[in-house]
Amino acid sequence: YLKISKLALAFAIIHSKPPGKSSREYTEYLAKTVSEQDFGWKWKVEVLEAEVLRLQQELLLNRISPRFCLENRKQDTSAETLLGQESINPTSYSSQLEDSGCDVCNDSAFDSFGIASDFHQSEHNANTSKHWLERVPPLSLCHSSKEQSLTAPVQFLQRLLEIRKLSEGGILQADFSELENDSFTIWNSVSQLLDGLTVFYNSPKFPAPSFLTEGVSVLISLITDTKLSNHVMKKCFKKMEEFKKNLIQIILRNKSVNRFQALHSVSQTLGLLGRNNILRNSLISLLLSEVRQFAEQLLQAHQVQSVYDITQYENIFLLCMILEQLLQNETQESNVSSSDYGGEEKTKFLKNLDQIILHLSDEFPLFSLYLWRVSVLLNSGQMQ
């Protein structure tokens, strides 16, 4: 039946082809037309899916705190005006996003690539929170460009964080148990945020766009919030693990000449993720594995006098620095039990490490020093 159908299609194309065109050219034209139609339908589906998610986000926020959504609905008229201005001046909304009024971190200073120097959470007073309620844009105001991969989930998660702070201050009544009943919305929102961050870290721009710094700030605030973190981690742990692995590979595989500023920013984000106790142990294991594998490959290349990847050698130091920082934080936080972190990877890393350092110390003294410093931290009181 399939052969007969293909043959019938071929005859139909030959008989219907316009004069002056060969059968091959007409076939390619038809294939291009069909593919464009398919792309149009795919785009429409993506738009509808985004709209469905936006409505689900609004519904979830309304279930958590109806009063919060009621306050924001009063601003719909001004929001429509803002949307009209956005179509005339696309930069107007980006400036508002840059200062959303949702102060999700204690120190908003960002480095040259936009990673916050400190993400300790700050307390909002009642006046600041009420002012934010008056000027927050509705969830429907999203860029139609690729920026939407970050702006859409960032807006939703910002609102979630703001409800959390307002409820903590006694200004709003909120029921966060609703997060347990709607795992898809929170998972999808966090997933979009992580995917969007990965895209921009893979192709960084300078200076960093405001929506990128906003996305990192919201992510760190979300996973460090004592109440929301448990809900997020329960549903998005695997996605967070994938995100960490992607960031590590971005650091290791980047071969561009002017890569160090971008890679430094990625390493800072990894360090900030490591402040979460749940993510820290798995991140240490991932870093131990990558550093150990590279050390073994470098030793093998050194012994047979073969070439090694100099770019990866330069990049591995960023992972070593992140690893050392996380291990130092572990030893300083006496209230956190860390006897099981690293697990099997810790054992593999320490095995034959002295021999590796001995053979590499003459040719690669700096890398050997980092290996030694990491081993000292790992063995420090057996991490209690």
Q: Are residues 270 and 283 in the same domain?
A: no
On whether residue 368 sits in a domain, the answer given is yes
Domain that holds residue 379: 277-333+341-383
Q: What pLDDT was estimated at residue 209? A: 76
Region of residue 364 (left: phi > 0; alpha: psi -120 to 50; beta: else): beta
Mean pLDDT value across residues 133-151: 52
CA of 329: how far to CAs of 14, 131, 208, 233, 383, in Å?
72, 37, 28, 21, 11
Backbone dihedral angles phi then psi of residue 19, each to the nearest 5 degrees: -65, 145
Burial of 89 (0-12, 13-18, 19+ CB in 10 A): exposed
Q: How far apart are CA 46 and CA 336, in angstroms?
A: 44
Q: How far apart are CA 103 and CA 333, in angstroms?
A: 27
Domain end call among 275, 297, 313: 275
Query: Which residues, listed in sequence order, are joined to residue 118 by a DSSP beta bridge?
Result: 107
On whether residue 17 sits in a domain, the answer given is no
Q: Are residues 230 and 295 in the same domain?
A: no
Q: What pLDDT was estimated at residue 294? A: 94
Q: Are residues 314 and 206 in the same domain?
A: no
On whether residue 196 sits in a domain, the answer given is yes
What six digits make up the tokens of 303? Answer: 């012994």
pTM: 0.69
Q: Are residues 372 and 281 in the same domain?
A: yes
Q: What pLDDT was estimated at residue 262? A: 82
Judge whether 287 and 249 are in contact, CB under 8 Å. no
Judge whether 121 and 225 are in contact, CB under 8 Å. yes
Q: Are residues 289 and 257 in the same domain?
A: no
**Residue percentage of the chain with pLDDT more than 70:** 74
Contacts of 375 (CB under 8 A, 6+ apart): 349, 350, 353
Q: Are residues 299 and 329 in the same domain?
A: yes
As for how many domains the chain has, the answer is: 2
On whether residue 37 sits in a domain, the answer given is no
Of residues 76 and 202, the one with the higher pLDDT is 202
On whether residue 207 sits in a domain, the answer given is yes
Q: What pLDDT was estimated at residue 342? A: 58
Tell which residue, 189, 165, 187, has the closest CA to residue 101.
Answer: 165
Q: Which of 134-148, 149-163, 168-182, 326-340 has the lowest mean pLDDT?
A: 134-148
- Is the pLDDT at 333 greater than 80? The verdict is no
275 three-class SS: coil
Q: Are residues 258 and 290 in the same domain?
A: no
Q: What pLDDT was estimated at residue 28? A: 85
Q: What pLDDT was estimated at residue 323? A: 93
Q: Which of 35-39, 116-120, 307-311, 322-326 has the lowest mean pLDDT?
A: 116-120
Q: What pLDDT was estimated at residue 167? A: 85
pLDDT digits (tens, 9 = 90+) for 94-111: 333 333 333 333 333 334
Q: What pLDDT was estimated at residue 6? A: 85
Judge whether 298 and 256 are in contact, CB under 8 Å. no
On whether residue 80 sits in a domain, the answer given is no
pLDDT digits (tens, 9 = 90+) for 169-217: 888 788 888 888 887 888 899 999 999 899 888 887 777 778 788 888 8
Q: Are residues 366 and 328 in the same domain?
A: yes
Q: How far apart are CA 62 and CA 178, in angstroms?
A: 10
Q: Are residues 217 and 284 in the same domain?
A: no
Q: Are residues 163 and 258 in the same domain?
A: yes
On whether residue 358 sits in a domain, the answer given is yes
Q: Are residues 324 and 345 in the same domain?
A: yes
Domain end call among 275, 290, 308: 275
Q: What pLDDT was estimated at residue 115? A: 40
Give residue 291's pLDDT band: very low, low, confident or very high (50, 70, 90). Answer: very high
Q: How far apart are CA 87 and CA 84, in angstroms?
A: 5
Give me the chain's average pLDDT, please: 76
Mean pLDDT value across residues 310-335: 85
